[in-house]
Amino acid sequence: MNKILFYLITFFLVLSCSKDKDENEEVVADDRMADSAITNIYASGKVSEQTPAEAKQTIFGKWDVGGSSSKNISSSKSLSECTFNFIEFTDKSYIMNLSITGPDGPESGSIFGNYALIEADGLVTEVRLYFSISGDDIHIATLTNIEVVEKASGGFDATFDINFEIDLGDVEIACFDLGGSYSADKEPAMEETLSAGVDSNHYKVVRN
């Protein structure tokens, strides 16, 4: 009986280690992140050609839309009312910042929540953004055609399409539809990111 129990424990340990190894192998490491426990900030590529683990690395970070030559296919009225400033992804959540022009002048507003990587045949087809209302996660927007390119001069550019699934007024954001195609620059990471260990405050904040 003890011998059978020993073999069962050994089997599950090997199975667990193999699973962890497989999950780690599908993520490409970068030597520049060798001293950091934080998600690789140097990932790039087409998200539609990546696994969920790879895609999470690719979208990770803060993407400045307002500071780049962004293009929005909404009407000019939409652009005058609301501007898409940035979107930032951590491992589990996102925050989207908007500038809103109202009767009292410009002000800033944010939408935040969890996101989900939707996949088909092991590859990511879209990124869904959710917003919590009264404890329920509402699907408010979908990102597709995401591509991140590392520039020869340093830094990263991203292009993506975003479609809002609901009227932003339903979540008390006074904007017309901002859906369309955008380009964005990735904000450089702080120095702490390149050396943050799992016990550091920087790691705990950035990973959430």
For 137-174, what is each residue's pLDDT tens digit?
Answer: 999 999 999 999 999 988 899 999 999 998 877 777 76
List the CATH number of the domain containing 67: 2.40.128
Question: Containing domain of residue 181, as a range?
Answer: 32-207
Within-domain flag for 112: yes
* pTM confidence score: 0.74
Count structural domains, the chain. Answer: 1
Within-domain flag for 21: no
For 94-132, what is each residue's pLDDT tens digit?
Answer: 999 988 776 676 777 888 999 999 999 999 999 999 998
| Whether 16 contacts 27, CB under 8 Å | no
Q: Which two tokens stand for residue 25?
A: 């192998």
